[in-house]
Amino acid sequence: MGLTAPRIELLVRAGCAACGRAREDLARICGPLDVPVTEVDVDEAAAAGDGEPRAEYGDRLPVVLLDGEEHSYWEVDAPRLLADLRSRAKA
C-alpha cells in the first residue's frame, strides 16, 4: 500500500496580513518537501455556496488544516508542522 501525500490547506481572507505571513511560512516549510498547499478564501467559498469554512474558522484566520484537521491558527506552528510532515513521510 502506497503512502498518501499530506494535504495542507490554508484558510484565508482578502486583506489579512497574518494570512500573507502564513502563506510565506508554508512555502518555506512545504516547498522543500514537495507538499502542495491549497489556499481557500473563506469569503469566496461562502459566496460560492460553501459557508462552512467561514462559519467554523472565520474568526481565527489564517488557519492551517493538515489532512482536513485544524493544525494551527493565527500563525503557523512551524516546528510542529515540520515534525508532523516528516512523521507522515516515515509512516
Q: For residue 1, give the amino acid letter.
A: M
The model's pLDDT over 8-31, given as tens digits with 9 standing for 90+, comes to: 999 999 999 999 999 999 999 999
Identity of the residue numbered 76: V
Condensed to tens digits (0 to 9), the pLDDT of residues 50-85 reads 999 999 999 999 999 999 999 999 999 999 999 999
Residues in the chain: 91
Q: Which residues pair with 64 in a beta bridge?
A: 10, 72
Structure-block grid coordinates of residue 8: 495542507
What is the fold of 8-90?
Glutaredoxin (3.40.30)
Record the pTM. 0.91
Of 4 and 76, the one with more pLDDT: 76
The residues spanned by each domain of the chain are 8-90
* pLDDT over 90 at 5, yes or no: no
